[in-house]
Structure 1
Amino acid sequence: MKLKSFALTLVSFCIAAVSVPKVAEAATFSVIADGLDNARGVSVGPDGSIYVTETGIGGDGGCVQSPSVQFASLCSGNTAAITRIKDGQQERIFTDLPSLALQGSGIEGAGPQDLKFDSQGNAYLVYGFAGDPTNRDTVFNDSTFGQLYNIDLNSGALTSIADLAQFELLNNPDQGDVISNPYALAIQGDTAYVADAGANTLLSVALDGSGITNVVPFFSRPFENAVFPELPPGQQPPPGVDPDAPLNEIPLQPVPTGVAIGPDGARYVSDFSGFPYPEGGSRVYRVGDDGIPTVFADGFTQIGDLEFDQNGNLLVLQYADQPAWQNNFAASLFQVAPDGTRTTLISAGEGLESATSLEVGPDGTIYITNKGDRPGVGQVLQYNPITPTKPITPTQVPEPTTALGLIAAAAFGTTSMFKHKRRLADVSH
């Protein structure tokens, strides 16, 4: 059975809970920002201000066929932004930034992806892309995408430190499809670490501008007994594909979506997992000085981000607890203690949905971007596991309202938001 073509067809027409030993008390949050367009990275600045990147809704600029959804156009426009929450006030401090998104719905946003600070208070911005790097200059006519920048938060000026998309084009470390989507950022000393969810790499970048100093590729791994969605009524599979044939083992893409520096100085990288996003198929890898990824924790589902708190606990944010094609985007937050004990801090159904990013403030407060896969409704949540605040109410995922309604609303939250690779080997049964 040809898994590649079957997977593409299903994704085009479709848009886990993890068992843990402990469960914390019911979670409560406060909403400190809302109305965001494809909210992604959240960070705390040196002055205590909260920053969140908005990848925008694209526009009427250059277009290509979506790499993840058939019959859909991915177009560029200056609709991205960076928002600051300071003294309780929400403000878009920079607007009209380059953006890519699916037209008609505004989902599949790619733009300013993650913002982090070094120990001196300097700010750095990683810009996503989600596609073939050759289209960046030839179709979209904007080289802003796919790079790491130093950003002046007074003027908004960007100074390029490394062209990550170009690196993928020239090197393709995992030897898969040539695709780049720089997605998450961590700073340690004079080095930035960037997780590229399209290239399946962790890149080390010198902040002095001398370039990329190291790359760690992540490769597909065998996964048994994955569950696939059924074709909608009346929809025929592509020629030569038997949707009823068993897939005993598939190559599962890694899709790195988060990077954090551990108490031991190692890099920890979250693996979202590729289609069909199996429950329990998401992992956390540890990358030590030898540059070899080893499994640190597994059994998660669709990890969107990870961070360490001041006590050395690893916080793991699931984008959704069920595979995205099931159209249930309730999310969870887990804590992994240094001794390996897992605790559910926020359970599915308590208000998290399509959760995309996580940050721990210096006082232990946790910030989460919520509903981060679509425009107009994104939020930043403030959560203190010690002193609860007012709870929020979950909302329903909006139904598609355009001619692209064949695509369920949040498909791009996992297929194009990360733009993981579709180059899957043929699997015989």
Structure 2
Amino acid sequence: MVGTGTASAGGGYGGSGGGKGPTTLAEGLIGPLHLDVQRGHKGADVLVSQSFAGTISKVRSGGSVTDLVTEPGGFTGGVAGGPFGTLLYLSNGEQGAFLKLRLPGGQTVDLADLGTYEATKNPDQVNTYGLQGASPECLAQLPPDVPGLAPYKGDVNPNPYELAVTPWGAYVADAGGNTILFVEWSGKIRTVSVLPPRPEVVTAEAAAGAGLPECAVGLTFNFEPVPTDVEFGPGGLYVSSLPGGPEDASLGARGGVFKVDPRNGRATLIGTGFLGATNLAVAPNGTVYVAELFGGKISKLVKGGPRTVLEVTEPAGLEWSNGRLYATTDVNTSGKVITFRP
């Protein structure tokens, strides 16, 4: 039920990180895909986006849940506390895709029209996705009822998913546009980085599973990078990637982590092997933690790959605060907010 929550000791979790088990801060949430932690003199409050309900809520340190924003029929994305008692959140629905600002008095204003920006700029049109290097004869054999197999340029597809707030504005990870954007407080938008495609060599097994012709074996297939989070960390921005295509393990664990230089937009893939990298958190020492939605665990990036920290059910949102990780779990059933020391 929206707007209700309980505080209780966590149970039924397994971990290999050596830390204490998690504590459940709230449960009964509807699609809690995103969260942010606000620390105060009385402890930590958690802002949570109940995305499937179109609701932004606050989970107080005592466990109570208060709804702050409700957009019936909408989908709320990332949420973050802003300056002077404001909060920012992403919204994507029939009215368009926006970065919105909630004022301390409860009024909500549209800070930036991200959907119009994507429609007019389409930054990732510089990328080519799909099967690369195939002859016309081979392309003619591709299944006609499966879209996205033949080469195509990045198209218009706004899906602002996560954000990170700075004193000068907010970075936004657009999962549909495959971009990292920056929105100034004036509402001006600019493209910081267009993430590169995620290439995979087509194996005989993959071709058979996807119904691709034999001529595709050995060629490269460029998947869309699909950024799902952006966070600050040592030396730049850190971005989780949930590559397009099958979201299960049929093609392996293909989720990754990029490091982006905000000065020139250069994106470097620094980690792979995550199964559903839907969010990440960066500790002050530079350790990167990743929520693996389809892997059922929270991992940390070690030598370019994942190392399990905690096994959980359907983790989605992830944040670091004051030596603890905060996560949303069970996002397709009775969603929870948990916290633990890794």
TM range, smaller chain: 0.7 to 0.9
2:300: which partner in 1?
335
Q: Do the aligned partners of 1:359 and 1:367 also contact (CA within 8 Å) in 2?
A: yes
Quote the offset at 1:341 in angstroms: 8.7
Q: Does 1:268 find its partner at 2:264?
A: no
Distance 2:171 2:290 in 1: 18
2:260: which partner in 1?
287
Q: How does 1:31-50 map to 2 (within 5 A)?
A: 31-47=24-40, 48-50=44-46
- Number of aligned positions between the proteins: 291
Q: Which runs of 5+ in 1 are unaligned?
A: 1-22, 57-78, 101-110, 130-135, 137-142, 232-236, 322-330, 386-429
Higher share of residues assigned strand: 2
Distance 1:245 1:344 in 2: 38
Quote the offset at 1:311 in angstroms: 2.6
Q: Does 1:371 find its partner at 2:327?
A: no
Distance 1:128 1:153 in 2: 22
1:112 maps to a residue whose letter is T
Q: Which runs of 5+ in 2 are unaligned?
A: 1-15, 126-153
Quote the offset at 1:168 in angstroms: 0.8
Q: Do the aligned partners of 2:298 and 2:315 also contact (CA within 8 Å) in 1?
A: no
2:149: which partner in 1?
none
1:85: which partner in 2?
59
Deviations 1:251-303 (A, max 9, x none): 21111001011122x11111111112432322211111211111222232321
Q: Does 1:305 find its partner at 2:279?
A: yes
1:270 is paired with a residue whose SS is: strand
2:22 maps to a residue whose letter is F
1:63: which partner in 2?
none
Q: Identity, % of aligned pairs?
A: 26
Distance 1:228 1:32 in 2: 42
Q: TM-score scaled to structure 2, two decimals? A: 0.76
Quote the offset at 1:340 in angstroms: 6.6
Distance 1:24 1:39 in 2: 24
Distance 2:62 2:201 in 1: 48
2:234 maps to a residue whose letter is P
Change in 2 beyond 3 A, CA 1:194/1:187:
same
RCO greater where, 1 or 2, for CA within 8 Å and sep 6 or more?
A: 1
Change in 2 beyond 3 A, CA 1:27/1:197:
farther
Quote the offset at 1:26 in angstroms: 7.6
Deviations 1:297-334 (A, max 9, x none): 2232321111111332111221112xxxxxxxxx2222
1:297 is paired with a residue whose SS is: strand
Q: Does 1:195 find its partner at 2:155?
A: no
Q: How does 1:207-286 map to 2 (within 5 A)?
A: 207=185, 209-225=186-202, 247-248=217-218, 249-264=220-235, 266-277=236-247, 278-286=251-259
Distance 1:220 1:98 in 2: 35
Change in 2 beyond 3 A, CA 1:223/1:54:
same
Q: Do the aligned partners of 2:90 and 2:100 also contact (CA within 8 Å) in 1?
A: yes
RMSD: 2.8
Q: Do the aligned partners of 2:327 and 2:339 also contact (CA within 8 Å) in 1?
A: yes
Q: Does 1:357 find its partner at 2:308?
A: no
Quote the offset at 1:342 in angstroms: 6.0
Q: TM-score scaled to structure 1, two decimals? A: 0.61
